[in-house]
Amino acid sequence: MTNKIAEIALAIPKRQAFDYQIPDEMVGKLLPGMRVKVPYGHGEKIGIVVNTKAQSQWPVEKLKPILSSLDEAPLFSKTMLELLCWATAYYCHPIGDVLLTAIPAKLRKGEPDSRPTERLWRVADGICLDSLEKLRKAPKQQALLQLLMDGPVSETELLRQFNKPVLRALHKQDLLICEESISKADHSWTKSLKVASRPFASTEQALAISAINSTQGFQPFLIEGVTGSGKTEVYLQTIENQLQQQRQVIVLVPEISLTPQTLSRFEERFAIDIGVWHSGLSDNERLAVWQKARDGEVGIIIGTRSAVFLPLKWPGMIVVDEEHDSSFKQQDGFRYHARDLAIMRAKQLDIPLVLGSATPSLETLNNALTSRYRHLHLREKVVKGSKVNQQLLDIREQHLDAGLSPYLIERINLHLRQQQQVMIFINRRGYSPALMCSDCGYVDSCKHCDKPYTWHKSTQQLHCHHCGSVKKRQPGCQSCGSNNVNASGVGTEQLEEALSRLFPNYQVARVDSDSMSGKRSLNETLEAINQRKYQILVGTQILAKGHHFAHLSMVAILDVDAALYSADFRATEQLAQLITQVAGRTGRAGSEGEMWLQSCHPDNGLLLDLLHNGYGHFARTTLKERQAAQLPPFEFQILLKSESISLSDSQQFLLHVAKMFHMEQSLNEPALKVIGPFPSLMEKRQGRFRMQLLLSHLQRLPLHRALNKHLSALESLATKHKVRWSIDVDPTDF
Ligand code: ADP
Ligand code: ZN
Ligand code: ZN
């Protein structure tokens, strides 16, 4: 029986694919992974063929026929389509959204998957030296023909040396042939791989490199190594091995614009075209990189989260740098984790996968400790830097000036006088996180989110950092009219101002997403810092990532306490990662560097463990605690979220859902845990009330089985309650 029915994934919030009739002329030609245009409702939609089949659960005559096919070949390889279908089921997300997320916007909109072509000239068949000889009297024509006898040349290239009439004359004599061809890079990377000199690997590096290079097939590795221990060098040398075998490598990184140095290291090592993939690209650029990756024209692609979906002609290896970074998890729409998908993809492709971090996530560490991943250690710093002395600074009963304790100010002064740089880290942009009236206590808050506005003094504006709304500051208190309205709490702007006041003879650089717009600006600032044009650096997370500052001898984190007592069980893990990362910014050759953590809880056990024994020890202790408390990675979680402009709608929906799963628990699945509904940590955002319900289980399978069983009931319940809802599998954000 021939397959006359196609399952089509459409970009609509429905979980399943739709059956359509395949018109006779397309039968046999329409393949899974091709785009089609289909009638839907009163209009047309672009969809992707998931499957073709002989029979449908619906009578064939009821099915609408496909209108047209947009591709001659599938956009997805068989394995990619399998991966995406797996992700659809795993993350319980509508298939159309998953498939369409994985292709560039232009293809999503139905534009052709064509590559720009150009005219390529070559000599006609049977042309020999005789023909050349005959052109004695036309030296220009002779020279052109001679050039082409070495191989085809593009018209653009030819017209740089010869004019049109010469070309036309030869063409008329049937000596030349012109062909339309896809413009490809002048030389493909496989032929032109030149490797700049590489350092001699240390013993630990050599062990890691040979372990990775000698694997056959699927094998995940965790490289656990402090900053500066040479992880990137291990990536470079194992990537070189892949390139030499003509295989391609995807390198996932948290954020390219924040770590321009990583890209330049790759470019310096390999003199080939490197594909770059991130949110700053135009639609055209994205399509071009996607096509080059698919057609095997780039050997390396460095990209953020969604680069995990890039098609590869010759897949060789996937690297995930800073694998613990939270940006690998998409927090809305299709909530996938790029690291986890990378593992699945490597498994399917049967290739090695390298995860690297100085501060591995507890999930990954657990997999390494239980031998699911091979665990490689880089214990030594390659370039022997100084030790960083990490200490807690008790700020109880201290008078703080813009968050700075008197002793910290003293230390800053000391380092500056010794011609060194200091860095002060604070995780809050703006001047202050709130403005408060000292007479009546009124705090101006965003009415969509019920959270105080952040005061940005430089622009004289109030910003809501949760929904992005902005308003101009009005003079006086909005409640009592008093003029006694003051900044409450400290942000980067205020810290910058205070440090400039305290140390008028030194230059302060502020690095946060407000002061740094675009890659160039950050690059320039980093450059200026390394040239010692600034002595004091103030910044947020941006400063903590990947940059190395050679003249930095002291770093401080102003406030670590919020994370210690957070409702989010991952907060301490993230704090430890941050502290370790920030500490890694210093480390000059020679004398010791120092790091200060201001805290009102200087005897906190976790902090002391981290400072005395390092992240590795801290992480292993924390893993044991998670195991005892039955939390991830020892427990699996799925979060059901609902939001609505009415708090009670949002709540009622989840109360019904909870009832459903309590029933499931008592009838079939006693080990299923149902917690909630409870409000999200951000209870109100953009005018919508957000509630959630947590399902968890010590085993993944029964948890997913329970959810799938009730999925369609959930869908109709949500429609009835008119709430927006979503499913977050392996949630990291509550
Ligand atoms: P990581 O990625 O772990 O932070 P890198 O690979 O960036 O470490 O190495 C830190 C520094 O040491 C870099 O400047 C790098 O060029 C250099 N380096 C790495 N490996 C070696 C080596 N085997 N010999 C000499 N220098 C090295
Ligand atoms: Zn007031
Ligand atoms: Zn808001």
Which segments are annotated as binding site for Zn(2+)?
437, 440, 446, 449, 464, 467, 477, 480
| Residues 333, 727: Cα–Cα separation, whole Å | 9
| Residue 63 Cβ < 6 Å to ligand 1 | no
Q: How far apart are CA 513 and CA 731, in angstroms?
A: 26
Strand pairing category for 688-697 and 673-685: antiparallel
Tokens, residue 19: 């059956």
Angle between helices 700-709 and 647-667 (to 10 degrees): 120
Nearest to 355 by CA among 314, 379, 382, 325: 325
In whole numbers, what is the pLDDT of the chain averaged over residues?
91
Check pLDDT > 90 for residue 548: no
What residue has token string 């214990």? 379
Nearest to 226 by CA among 566, 582, 534: 582
- pLDDT, residue 587, reads 63
pLDDT digits (tens, 9 = 90+) for 674-730: 999 999 988 889 999 999 999 999 999 999 999 999 998 998 888 888 899 999 999
Average pLDDT over every residue of 198-223: 95
Ligand 1 pocket, 225 CB below 6 A? yes
| Closest ligand to the CA of 378 | 1
pLDDT tens track for 103-137: 999 999 999 998 877 788 888 887 778 888 888 88
Least confident among 17-26, 192-201, 550-559: 192-201
For 170-228, the three-class secondary structure string (H helix, E strand, C coil) is HHHCCCEEEEEEECCCCCCHHHHCCECCCCCCCHHHHHHHHHHHCCCCCEEEEEEECCC
Q: Are 503 and 494 in contact (CB under 8 A)?
A: no
Q: Does residue 387 carry a pLDDT above 70?
A: yes
Ligand lying closest to the C-alpha of residue 383: 1
From 378, 382, 549, the mutation candidate for ligand 1 (largest count of ligand atoms within 8 A of CB) is 382
Ligand 1, atom 6: closest residue by C-alpha: 230
Please tell me if the CB atom of residue 201 comes closer than 6 angstroms to any atom of ligand 1: yes
Taking residue 11's Cβ as centre, other Cβ atoms within 10 Å add up to: 18
The tokens 């965790």 sit on which residue? 222
Average pLDDT over residues 417-428: 93
**Is the CB–ligand 1 distance for residue 110 below 6 Å?**
no
Mean pLDDT, residues 190-207: 85
- pLDDT tens digits, 249-295: 999 999 876 666 788 889 889 888 899 999 889 999 999 999 999 98
Instruction: Supply the residue whose CA is at minimum distance from atom 9 of ligand 1.
Output: 230
The string over 321-360, giving b where at least 16 C-beta atoms fall within 10 Å of a residue's C-beta and e elsewhere, is bbbbbeebbbeeebbbbbbbbbbbbbebbebbbbbbbbbb
ipTM value for the complex: 0.97
CA–CA dist 432, 424 (Å, integer): 16
* Residue 545's pLDDT band (cuts 50, 70, 90): confident
708: its two tokens: 């799938």
Predicted model pTM? 0.88
Please give the Cα distance from 217 to 220 (Å, whole number).
Answer: 10
Tell the burial category of 556 from Cβ atoms under 10 Å away from its Cβ (0-12, 13-18, 19+): buried
> 545: Cβ below 6 Å to ligand 1?
no
Helix/strand/coil for 248: strand
Q: Looking at residue 258, what is its pLDDT?
A: 64
| 202 Cβ closer than 6 Å to some ligand 1 atom | yes
Distance 381 CA to ligand 1 centre (A): 8
List pLDDT tens digits, range 326-354: 999 999 999 999 999 999 999 999 999 99
Lowest mean pLDDT among 8-22, 212-226, 316-330: 8-22
Please tell me the predicted confidence (pLDDT) of residue 155. 84
Residue-level pLDDT at 19: 96
Ligand 1 touching residue 359 (CB < 6 A): no
Q: Residue 99 — very low, low, confident or very high, per pLDDT cuts 50/70/90?
A: very high
pLDDT at 187: 44
- Please say if the pLDDT value at position 46 is more than 90: yes
